[in-house]
Amino acid sequence: MSPLVILFIGMAIVVGGVLALRLHAFLALLLGAVVVAGLTSTDQIVAARVAASSVAVVELRPDSEWLVRPGKGRALIAGTNFLIVDGKLTTDKVTLLVQGPDGERPALMRVHVHGAAPAIDPTRTAIIHETVRSAALKDGASSVGDRVASGLGKTATSIGIIIALAAIIGECLMRSGAADRIVWSIRRLLGDQRAPQGFVFSGFVLGIPVFFDTVFYLLLPLAKALRQRTGKHWVLYVLCTVAGATMAHSLVPPTPGPLMVATELGVSIGLMMIGGTIVGLVAATAGYAYAVWADRRWDVPPPDDQVEVVPTTDTDLSVLPPLWLALAPIVLPIALIGWAAVFDLLPDDLAKTWWGDQLLFWGGQLLFWGDKNIALGVSAVIALATFWWFRRLPLKELSAATQTALSSAGVIILITAAGGAFGLVLQQTGIAEVLTTMMPASKAALLPIAFLLTTTIRIAQGSATVAMITAVGIVAPLVAAGDLGYHPLYVALAIGSGSKPIPWMNDSGFWIIGKMSGFSEIQTLRTASAMMSLMGVVGLIVTMLGAWILPLV
């Protein structure tokens, strides 16, 4: 069956299940994943894995030397490799010796074919290592249940601990008074009228080293506390929290998506950070404008907010934690995770100087604490200790607060993991390759093409990062050919902007925003989804204007 048909069936089941049959999101996503997995043939599963993992042969050279193009997820491994012709796995194999990067084109690798080199057409041929080939065949032989469970488990492994710990941190920030302290400090600095702008900027800064989901979890209690103070503007506060964080997530390294795109296109990390910051802040400003409009149009109360809260001005600030302690559970993981990301970017030759050697040594000692799960764990301990110390509660009540946090986190983990399973089985249909063939390859329109390609893949499988990684693999050969008329930076920014439209039910972020904010599926679509789509389009417009006014070539 065509991957497009399978995609439409899966989308109909998820959307129809949630909106028409009123199924719980977890059940709708799980049902959609099972149906998609059942409709996908073994050949499609193997072909999708092979296409995602194969290494293209670029050029044949004398003396049995080949030039090949490895990439993200396409590891070049010495030893026995099988040939792929026209996208189909063959039984023909070669033994390769990796010789290193090509002198003129460092992105390409030189390999030597041991023994007699077969006669091949490099425009139609790729290679795949025997271990990866075996894994692809194993995927094809897996049952529907195993593949759905695998996708669910991988997603839960990635986000489960983070969501649980962040939920504990958020609950403690609210109950200990730490959120109140931060909110009152923001009010003193900006005033209530400018607090939404503060959320946009804070979310953007926090979204650079930390995943969007974690940033949203950390900032949402602050938005809720401010809502309790003002008694209004819940939609505005939520959308402003989303606006900054989501643009940084797709445009500014060291988050995985933009880091990968910049690397593949040969754009320096520093230039990508500057360009991503400019485009991201302009797009986030457009998101803020939409948030103001949406807040005036729709009045949605926060979850469990049955009674309108009357703002108070007589809070005794002396009973609240000091600002430095209130901020510690938020700032500490950002600093630790951010340092771990920066440390990976430090050049090895830094050790040639004394100060560089010391930086690498002492910085390396912090890498353990820079793991996202460890950093959030330390912050959760600080948040729990702050809650206990300033409220002087018995440990039984502390345990009850933790139970409340984990109860809400458990549902979100299940929904998010089911969305991951749905996205994985969609990828196994080969939908990315089908969508690629539908896109033209004109360099004159490469920026909007890269944007639309990324958007299409994002809509199909849900993950912004996966969409960016997939799209850059398709666009990179066009950029490598040169003669664009503008710097590859703009292609990277177009891909990042294209990962914003249109978040829906197969996106884990969609469910996190909706469930944590108390928005229904329809409300999430017309608020957060619409805003992110608008920001993506604005990002593309700014990128195209930059390529025209300041091509940097």
What φ, ψ does residue 440 adopt, rounded to 5°?
Answer: -70, 165
- Say whether pLDDT at 390 is over 50: yes
Q: The whole model's pTM is what?
A: 0.67
526 plus 470 within the same structural domain: yes
465 plus 498 within the same structural domain: yes
- List pLDDT tens digits, range 487-500: 889 999 999 999 99
Per-residue pLDDT, averaged over 231-242, amounts to 88
Specify if 119 maps to a domain. Answer: yes
289 plus 252 within the same structural domain: yes
393 plus 255 within the same structural domain: yes
High-pLDDT (> 70) share of the chain, %: 85
17 plus 82 within the same structural domain: no
Specify if 154 maps to a domain. Answer: no
Residue 411: per-residue pLDDT: 82
Q: Which of 157, 166, 59, 167 is nearest to 104 (CA)?
A: 59
- List pLDDT tens digits, range 12-50: 887 778 667 778 778 888 898 899 999 998 888 888 777
Assess contact for 346 and 358: CB atoms under 8 A: no
- Using CA atoms, how far residue 218 sits from 5, 247, 267, 374, 388, in Å, is 39, 17, 31, 16, 19
List CB contacts of 316: < 8 A, sequence separation 6 or more: none
202 plus 117 within the same structural domain: no
277 plus 347 within the same structural domain: yes
Q: Which of 161, 181, 172 is nearest to 382 (CA)?
A: 172
DSSP 8-state symbol, 55: E
Of the residues 141, 175, 201, the one at which a domain ends:
141
Specify if 153 maps to a domain. Answer: no
Specify if 524 maps to a domain. Answer: yes
User: Which is more confidently placed, 500 or 274?
Assistant: 500
- List pLDDT tens digits, range 135-146: 888 888 888 999
Q: Is 71 exposed, middle or buried (0-12, 13-18, 19+ CB in 10 A)?
A: middle
Assess contact for 81 and 128: CB atoms under 8 A: yes
Q: Label the pairing between strands 125-129 and 55-61.
A: antiparallel
- List pLDDT tens digits, range 103-135: 777 778 888 888 777 888 888 888 888 888 888
209 plus 238 within the same structural domain: yes
Rounded Cα gap, residues 394 and 388, in angstroms: 8
137 plus 176 within the same structural domain: no
Tally the domains of the chain.
Answer: 3
Residue 352: per-residue pLDDT: 62
Domain interval for residue 370? 160-301+320-406
Of the residues 108, 141, 174, the one at which a domain ends:
141
Q: How confident is the model at residue 532 (pLDDT cuts 50, 70, 90)?
A: very high
- Say whether pLDDT at 405 is over 80: yes
347 plus 245 within the same structural domain: yes
- List pLDDT tens digits, range 196-225: 888 888 788 767 655 677 678 777 877 887
Per-residue pLDDT, averaged over 180-208, amounts to 76
Tally Cβ neighbours within 10 Å of residue 403: 10
Specify if 131 maps to a domain. Answer: yes
Per-residue pLDDT, averaged over 425-453, amounts to 74
Specify if 146 maps to a domain. Answer: no
Of the residues 347, 381, 406, the one at which a domain ends:
406
Per-residue pLDDT, averaged over 416-421, amounts to 78
Specify if 368 maps to a domain. Answer: yes
- Which helix or strand (DSSP H or E) is residue 90 part of? strand 88-101
Residue 415: per-residue pLDDT: 79
Residue 73: per-residue pLDDT: 56
236 plus 326 within the same structural domain: yes
Specify if 415 maps to a domain. Answer: no
260 plus 223 within the same structural domain: yes
